[in-house]
Amino acid sequence: WARPEFPFGCPVTSMDPLEYRRRLHEARRATGCWLHYLLWRCGVLFSEPQAVKEVLAPRITLDKSERRIGKVLRVWGALFGQAIFMVGPKQWKRQHRIILRALGTRHTASFFETAERDADEIVEGLRVRHAAAREQQYNTGLREEFTEYTIGVIMKIILGAKFEGLRELVRDTEWVMECQSDPWFLLPGYLELPFGKPRQVREAIRRLHGTIQSIVDEKRRELAADPQALRQKPTLTLLERLCCAEEADEDPLTAEEVVHNVFGLVAAGFDTTSTALTHICFMLAEHQTLQQQIFEELQSLHSDAAPDAGERWQALDAQPRLTAFICECLRLYPSIIGTVYRTTTEAVQVGDAHLPK
């Protein structure tokens, strides 16, 4: 296989990793921050740990700033709308409390079986492609395979493995999110043009929203007819959990919020996961002694695998070498380099930096 471009995924570091690291260390030694421009918009990036803690603390994140990322990344604004990472502090706190009811540790562990089943398929597919590439002497890549795998698994977790039209939904979602990397879509008004690619993106987003909206409406009708029937199913999809989730003294998520958060979860999970998997495989290939040790650790695990998927997940999560290797790969090559931008709603002081409203 061809040696892949490295590091993968992370747009700032892949453009010029040495320049990014130089700025990071210079900023940490000096003021702990530097100016960053996205076209004509100026932002401040913080790298000093204490400053980062201040920005992420409630004083700024919840009380003196809000997220307006949809006004900059307009495709995201159209696709994710009222998703939890797109809204202001008041809506965020409400959604956060409700979504935790659907995505606690116990709930997420129940999704392991879907990922496990599809992992067997992707490994077998990689073996076939690798053998064909070696025989015919052509190059093949991992990241495309992992991207398809992760977005497919996430969609199955959200909608169920038997959902009809899953492949088309995955294809449209992946294409729309890729369109945000087109710099034309950063220009105000471009997405609203009545022809060409902007029109195709808007139509794809309408199809995606319409598909999920119809499922949400169906589940809400089931809940209205018999509130306990859906909740007592032996296994629930993530979308069903979002529909059922509620917090005391608060209304449940609206249908629009459920739809937007479905695609927000896809966006949060598919690219970060595929990038991490690519780095992990690359590092396993580079360090084959560690690869063999992890292989032996997993072999002993599979020899007495539990029949229950939750127990298998707990056993896998407890493997020390595998866990340490994954954590080190994420430390060396993080899939993302920051958080969603905050826009200050009043003047704030972060370390030596004064940020106006």
Please give the Cα distance from 35 to 13 (Å, whole number).
16
Whether residues 349 and 271 fall in one domain: no
Residue-level pLDDT at 38: 64
Chain mean position to CA 249: 30
Low-confidence ranges of the chain (pLDDT < 70): 1-21, 23-24, 28, 37-40, 137-141, 247-249, 303-307, 337-338
Residue 42 · residue 56 · CB < 8 Å = no
Q: In terms of DSSP bridges, do strands 353-355 and 65-66 run parallel, antiparallel, or are they unpaired?
A: unpaired
Whether residues 192 and 314 fall in one domain: yes
Whether residues 202 and 280 fall in one domain: yes
Whether residues 185 and 91 fall in one domain: yes
Residue 39, sorted as left (phi over 0), alpha (psi -120 to 50) or beta, turns out to be left
Peptide bond between residue 7 and the one before it cis (omega within 30 degrees of 0): yes
pLDDT in tens, 38-84: 666 777 888 788 888 888 888 888 889 888 888 888 999 999 999 99
Whether residues 289 and 302 fall in one domain: yes
CATH at residue 162: 1.10.630.10
pLDDT in tens, 137-178: 666 667 777 887 888 888 888 888 778 788 888 889 889 988
Whether residues 121 and 15 fall in one domain: no
Whether residues 198 and 323 fall in one domain: yes
Our count of domains for the chain comes to: 2
Amino acid at 20: Y
Whether residues 38 and 175 fall in one domain: no
CA distances for 267 relative to 124, 149, 151, 175, 213, angstroms = 26, 14, 9, 12, 18
Residue-level pLDDT at 5: 45
Whether residues 199 and 257 fall in one domain: yes
- Write out the DSSP string of 212-258: HHHHHHHHHHHHHH-HHHHHTSSS--HHHHHHH---TTSPPPPHHHH
Q: What is the pTM of this model?
A: 0.82
- Write out the DSSP string of 318-354: T-HHHHHHHHHHHHHS-S-SS----EESS-EEETTEE
Residue-level pLDDT at 249: 61
Strands (E), the chain: 33-38, 41-46, 65-66, 343-344, 348-350, 353-355
Whether residues 14 and 111 fall in one domain: no
Whether residues 352 and 318 fall in one domain: no
Amino acid at 319: Q
Whether residues 47 and 125 fall in one domain: no
Residue 20: which domain range? Answer: 1-64+342-356
**Chain position carrying tokens 């530097």:** 34
288-303 and 320-332 helices cross at what angle (nearest 10)?
140
